[in-house]
Amino acid sequence: MGEKSAGRYPRVIRLGISVEGATEREFVTRVLAPVLALKQVFASPIDMRGRVSLERIDKELSKLMAMFDHVTTFYDFYGFHKRPPGDAYALEDAINGLVPEDKRHRFTPYVQQYEFEALVLAVPDHAEEVIGVDGLSAKLRSIVGQSGGAELVNDGYETCPSRRIKAIAPQYDKKFHGPVALEGALDEARAGCPRFDAWLTCIAQLKK
């Protein structure tokens, strides 16, 4: 039969995802990577180990851009160290500005508004099942309803998404319960978090 015809197999994309910490790393590994692999996008999380700042990101991106076909980020807006003025979109613009202009076509900045736990708030039934607190689902739905959406639960110290969940379920362990609650519930999380959905749609469509 001879050689395989050119272009017969889709070209894969090596995607580096710079993540804030262990929670996001586990989420990418357990939930996002298998979904993206179906689109020939093979994602690898690179853990910043917390305390994310523009200065640290600048140093990280210079390395990652040389290692991967495409690079993206997954950081929380809440708690971003030395956060510049503005909203999550403004912070994404600031991060984008760290990449040389001729390489920006290979870079997609993303900042989670306001925190990873917005995704958990968007899947209340799964969260109740995984965390094991009766009535948790109804309380999470109430929080989301009062805020106008899971991604709109704000970034105050006592009212950020993770502390809202922790106040109801003290045993909540974000590194474990967060990613596990989202396994099998990604479509529901996307439906409740339009910013997150737009980002995931974008990186799932990457082509060489």
CATH 3.40.50 fits 13-115+193-204, yes or no: yes
- pLDDT digit of tens for each residue in the chain (208 aa)? 344 444 556 689 999 999 999 999 999 999 999 999 999 999 999 999 999 999 999 999 999 999 999 999 999 999 999 999 999 999 999 999 999 999 999 999 999 999 999 999 999 999 999 999 999 999 999 999 999 999 999 878 899 999 999 999 999 999 999 999 999 999 999 999 999 999 999 999 998 7
Query: What residue ranges do the domains of the chain occupy?
Result: 13-115+193-204, 117-191
Each as own residue / partner, the long-range contacts of residues 38-43 (CB below 8 Å, 24 or more positions apart, any chain) are: 39/204, 39/205, 39/206, 40/10, 40/11, 40/12, 40/13, 41/12, 41/13, 41/15, 41/203, 41/204, 41/206, 42/12, 42/13, 42/14, 42/15, 43/15, 43/16, 43/17, 43/203
Q: What is the pLDDT of residue 9?
A: 62
Q: What is the pLDDT of residue 8?
A: 59
What's the whole-model pTM score?
A: 0.93
CB proximity list for 145: less than 8 A, separation 6 or greater: none
